[in-house]
């Protein structure tokens, strides 16, 4: 069975309508999680702590998709 690793991270954005961080040195790495459910719970917890700051965003990165070179990139991976 393959692992479905997920990374939860976040930080302050330059503009709340974009996904560019104000300072990449200040990105908060919440952690790596073995499944989506645990990653989602961690994401939700951190996002709720910063709900009053419109510039703060937390994300879930699907690390297992980066390891599978045969899989097509998701729509979110094509943003840029």
Q: What is the pTM of this model?
A: 0.77
pLDDT at 71: 59
Contact (CB, 8 A) for 46 and 64: no
Q: Which residues of the chain have pLDDT under 70?
A: 1-2, 67-80
Contact (CB, 8 A) for 7 and 58: no
pLDDT at 79: 47
* All structural domains of the chain: 6-75 (3.30.70.2400)
Residue listed under structure tokens 């599978």:
68
Phi, psi of 20 (to 5 degrees): -105, 125
Contact (CB, 8 A) for 9 and 28: yes
């Amino acid at each position: 069975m393959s692992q479905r690793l997920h990374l939860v991270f976040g930080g302050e954005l330059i503009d709340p309508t974009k996904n560019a961080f104000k300072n990449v040195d200040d990105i908060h790495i919440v952690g790596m999680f073995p499944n989506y459910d645990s990653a989602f719970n961690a994401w939700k917890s951190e996002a709720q702590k910063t709900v009053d700051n419109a510039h703060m965003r937390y994300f879930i990165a699907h690390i297992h998709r980066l390891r599978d070179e045969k899989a097509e990139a998701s729509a979110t991976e094509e943003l840029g």
